[in-house]
């Protein structure tokens, strides 16, 4: 299977903030809170679909395997 990477200039912080916003309900349901301390960054060349998948997976795993708190 071929993987096509579609790079575009994006602010990675905006991607992270969007993912956190989508996962807040799941976190609240588990009595957890997602916090992000993001510093301003320059835009980077990134495949937004793949980056969304990677960051979402990391946060979802943290919610799944972390205890309450």
**Which pLDDT tens digit goes with each residue over 36-59?**
999 998 899 999 999 999 999 999
Question: Contact at 8 Å (CB) between 8 and 46?
Answer: yes
Structure token digits, residue 55? 């960051």
Question: pTM (2 decimals)?
Answer: 0.83
**So what's the pLDDT on residue 34?**
93
Give the CA radius of gyration of the chain: 14
**So what's the pLDDT on residue 9?**
96
Using pLDDT thresholds of 50, 70 and 90, give the confidence band for residue 68: low
**So what's the pLDDT on residue 1?**
78
**So what's the pLDDT on residue 3?**
83
């Amino acid at each position: 299977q071929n993987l096509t990477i579609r790079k575009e200039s994006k602010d990675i912080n905006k991607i992270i903030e969007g993912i956190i916003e989508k996962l807040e309900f799941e976190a609240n349901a588990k009595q957890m809170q997602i916090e992000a301390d993001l510093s301003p960054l320059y835009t980077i060349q990134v495949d937004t679909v793949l980056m969304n998948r990677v960051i979402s997976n990391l946060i979802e795993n943290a919610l799944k395997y972390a205890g309450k708190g």
